[in-house]
């Protein structure tokens, strides 16, 4: 009996050891805003909603640490993808973000910081075209403000926002922020979790 149990245990252990690992999720890096070297060996993607208070925490507390330790040193890059789940103006803020990105990638990250620093209550509708355009102007983003407002109102980049939301659904992403490191979805988004995932990704390079 004991030999049978040992044999079964050995088979189970072998299956665990030799079973193929899940392939990384294919990420559309080239279609997303990037902070840092786009050819960095470690690529981080945040799926976020500009109305999400926890996303605000990520942008204000976690992203600066990532920038200092990994992005500015060329080890990692940070990409942003929209996941609009909190209301109609989540979509409006996403449209504005895409419009800024298409004018100037670097300006996008100033927009990203500015929106989160000026984030309103998630239960109210505050991310209007007027607010977002005025915010870009106050922050002196190096873009065409009239074009920005026109692109928001015409929903010029709605198909891109829809595509990013579809990506989230296809990959069972339902909460913001959700973070991927080299295509691997993380269970958490705190700095220690990210640091561990980045170091693990570096070992695989």
Q: Residue 205 and residue 73: Cα distance in Å, rounded?
A: 16
pLDDT of residue 24: 83
User: What are the C-alpha distances in Å from 14 to residues 19, 22, 57, 97, 102?
Assistant: 8, 17, 42, 48, 50
Instruction: Read off the pLDDT band of 10 (50, 70, 90).
Output: very low
Q: Which two tokens stand for residue 191?
A: 């700095």
User: By percentage, how much of the chain surpasses pLDDT 70?
Assistant: 89
pLDDT of residue 203: 86
* C-beta of residue 44 within 8 angstroms of C-beta of residue 76: yes
Instruction: Read off the pLDDT band of 7 (50, 70, 90).
Output: low
Nearest to 42 by CA among 196, 198, 187, 180: 198
Higher-pLDDT residue of 112, 11: 112
Q: What average pLDDT does range 108-126 have in this prediction?
A: 97
**Domain range annotation of the chain:** 26-203
Q: Where are the beta strands (DSSP E) in 32-173?
A: 34-35, 42-48, 76-82
Mean pLDDT of the chain: 91
DSSP 71: I
Q: What's the CATH architecture for 26-203? A: 3-Layer(aba) Sandwich (3.40)
């Amino acid at each position: 009996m004991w030999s049978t149990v040992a044999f079964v245990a050995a088979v189970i252990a072998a299956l665990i050891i030799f079973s193929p690992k899940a392939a990384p999720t294919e990420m559309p890096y080239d279609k997303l805003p990037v902070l840092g070297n786009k050819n960095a060996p470690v690529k981080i993607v945040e799926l976020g909603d500009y109305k999400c208070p926890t996303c605000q925490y990520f942008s204000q507390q976690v992203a600066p640490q990532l920038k200092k330790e990994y992005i500015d040193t060329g080890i990692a890059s940070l990409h942003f993808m929209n996941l609009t789940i909190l209301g109609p103006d989540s979509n409006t803020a996403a449209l504005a973000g895409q419009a800024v990105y298409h004018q100037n990638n670097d300006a996008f990250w100033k927009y990203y910081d500015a929106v989160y620093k000026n984030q309103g209550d998630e239960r109210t509708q505050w991310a209007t075209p007027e607010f977002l355009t005025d915010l870009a102007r106050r922050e002196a983003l190096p873009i065409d403000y009239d074009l920005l407002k026109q692109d928001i109102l015409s929903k010029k980049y709605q198909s891109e926002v829809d595509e990013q939301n579809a990506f989230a659904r296809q990959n069972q992403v339902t909460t913001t922020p959700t973070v991927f490191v080299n295509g691997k979805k993380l269970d958490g988004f705190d700095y220690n979790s990210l640091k561990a995932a980045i170091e693990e990704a570096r070992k695989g390079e």
